[in-house]
Amino acid sequence: MAQLAEGWEIVARRAKNPIFQLYAALQIALGIAEAPHAFSAVTWTLRQTSTGLIRKVTAFSEAEALERLTLGLFDDA
């Protein structure tokens, strides 16, 4: 499994609004629009390898998800 951070493996990734993400990607590919946050947020489901604890983190990028994980800013259960 891929890891987001040391000791945290990625179990799943899911776009919060996949239709919007597809639409925005199509606009950018066609050169119609350029928007840095045109994509939908993604929810990463993570498992702590040492304990098996499952947590979720929602962010607009993998770097933001890593930052939220590092700060312990997990989604509400």
DSSP state of 75: P
Strands of the sheet containing 54-59, edge to edge, are: 3-5, 8-15, 42-48, 54-59
Q: What pLDDT is stored for residue 1 in this prediction? A: 63
Domain ranges for the chain: 3-71
Give me the DSSP letters along 20-45: HHHHHHHHHHTTS---TT-SPPEEEE
Q: What pLDDT is stored for residue 41 in this prediction? A: 83
pLDDT tens by residue, the chain, 77 residues: 688 888 999 999 888 776 776 776 777 788 776 555 556 688 999 999 999 999 999 998 889 999 999 999 999 86
Q: What pLDDT is stored for residue 15 in this prediction? A: 80
Number of Cα atoms under 13 Å in the Cβ half of residue 56: 12
